[in-house]
A and B are shown apart, each in its own frame.
Chain A
Amino acid sequence: MLHIAKRRTVADRVFTGGLIACGVLAIVPLISVVWTTLSRGSERLDIDFFTQSMRGITGAGGGALHAIMGTLLITASATLIAVPIAFGTALWLTEYAASTTSPAVKALARTVRGVIDVLAGIPSIVAGLFMYAVIALTLGPGYRSGFAGAVALALIMIPVVERSGEEVLARVPAELKEAGLALGAPQWSVILRVVLPTALPGLVSALLLGISRIIGETAPLLLVAGFTDSMNYNLSAGRMISLPVYVYSQWQNKGVDAQAYDARAWSAALVLLAGVLLLHGLAGLVIRLQRQNRQVRRARR
């Protein structure tokens, strides 16, 4: 009897030890990634890095202003394209398709959900190739622009934002909607004045997470936006580089002074990482603020 109990205790200890080891082991790469990026990235994080492009630079010096501007322009336009489609689809699924009894609409809603699942699984490079195929078949294979990159990124962003948006919209309490409808408001008015304001913080956080998902994308931009050493503020024509592509091209096309290229790559990686973490932090903050607000309101009652 006794040794069975002992064996069980030992098995339990070993197992728990294994779980603790998993927890510790999983943290190691995170610390390593963040630490390496911080220590190697801070080397070239000077004023030049934020005020100069790489035009005419073949060794040390230069900066990533063109890549930072490119990232901002491309990400902003991708967001502008993706958001109406993503939130519109989410709204249709949660509000309109859910309130119908027509079997045709129900089937359509199921299809749309399935399509979103498939879209969410598209590898990012395939999104880039798709955009290349569209360009090659319409404008000719040589066309590169920031806008083409933005469309490819929007394709990646739509399922991400739609899914979390749908989740947020579905969580709006039915009582609120019913109260609005019972007061005689038409459905569009209930959506605009009740559903959307209630869901707003969640939608904002869905949006921020969607942006953080695409801001680090490299592969699609590599294919359709290309890389350049110069500034380009024109989204519709000419190659436009973004920070992740900058990291890749600095590493890939090293000149004579390899150290300088590596240092710039790490600095760009650091800026990128900081941006992504900031977006994540903001998304979390928005949600937390909303929760606090709700608790305060509940307490007042």
Chain B
Amino acid sequence: MPIQEETIEKVKLATSKYKYGFSTNLDVDKAPKGLNEDIIKLISSKKDEPQWMLEWRLKAFEIWKKMEEPDWAKVNYPKIDYQDIYYYSAPKNTEKLKSLDEVDPQLLETYEKLGIPLKEQKVLAGVAVDAVFDSVSVVTTFREQLAEKGVIFCPISEAIKNYPDLIKKYIGSVIPRHDNYFSALNSAVFTDGSFVFIPKGVRCPMELSTYFRINEKNTGQFERTLIVADDDSYVSYLEGCTAPQRDENQLHAAVVELVAHKNAEIKYSTVQNWYPGDENGKGGIFNFVTKRGSCLGDDSKISWTQVETGSAVTWKYPSCILHGKNSVGEFYSVAITNNYQQADTGTKMIHLGENSKSTIISKGISAGKSQNTYRGKVLMQPGAKNARNYTQCDSLLIGDQCGAHTVPYITSKNPTSNIEHEATTSKISEDQLFYCLSRGLSEEEAVSLIVNGFCKEVMKELPMEFSVEAQKLIGISLEGSVG
């Protein structure tokens, strides 16, 4: 079925505005609300962590206590009471599972509802999945096939125990604990996430994927992902997220660190569909995420692609530190806000290496009463001779009550670098809608068609199977934005 038609069908099917708004009744193991050293010790002991990890966490907590929550983003939200959040919640009976057969069937059903190819027979789809449910990584598929190639893909909690040297070497190496308020918080309380290591010269044979889901009420999700690509290796990693529909806000503060060594390439794709709140702005996820990649080696490449449709408030800047000569950083983003959603998102491209190159393509779509901000930094350091950046920021407005903002910060500290910035703002016109309607398309079909056209440059960067889902999501998230 052609993608466009599928989008339309999906929109029709989606009678409820947020398809993933169900919650699952599972027995859970939950720590008391609030944040203190005891909770951190509890998390660490639940995970059976070594002492050094606990100490690393406690140090992060010390740092966090001295920090202030940032307020420079163009977002407004009620003050978060960090003592009113559960920091640990896990479905019971998930420890030490050997195979899928041992997973709680209800949990599998949830994943099925989410459309996650968790079952082994989905091997054809070529996706290895790590599924994180609230705080615990439930199951990782295809681990054996990956192991044959020497690829490590496992929950980070396991990696801490099984590969302590790798974790010690890389955790916090790209995003130090003190980097920002949320990275410090995450470092203290992160509960799970994925770890990937691609050895020298290996091209990871399949797409790796993680699905995150917040299920429990009042629970924060603090996952931590670390991907290391050794010399001459390649990996493509996909991340998807959903959460049930709840009236209260939930906090998601993740940290994702990528390290690309010499001539390695990491492609990181996200389809973010956390619950955005209802049409009056009630509920929804606060998505405060720090993602950064380090192109450490010469000729390395890191590419971020994100489709952001969910969350009540988004604060997220997947960035690249371009250390290596000829290293390449890319950021492709579609951010859609509708109703009362607020997104402040963009990237940082920090050029240190000679001939390093970066590309930023950002497409912001605002509808309803939402606010959508692109915030991006391009910095050419003195050593970044002949470095180049190209930035293109396009905003599309639907209706007359939303806002689109573009805030680029551009600094060049050497005379040989080259920076280009282009920006446009446009609106879906009444004439365009009427033209499509006169051909029999409904307003929603028309908007979906035009918006998908607007985003095309970014969507084509997504892995094939994500691309279809993302196009559907665009249609769904803009429902009710016209008329």
Do chains A and B stick together as partners?
no
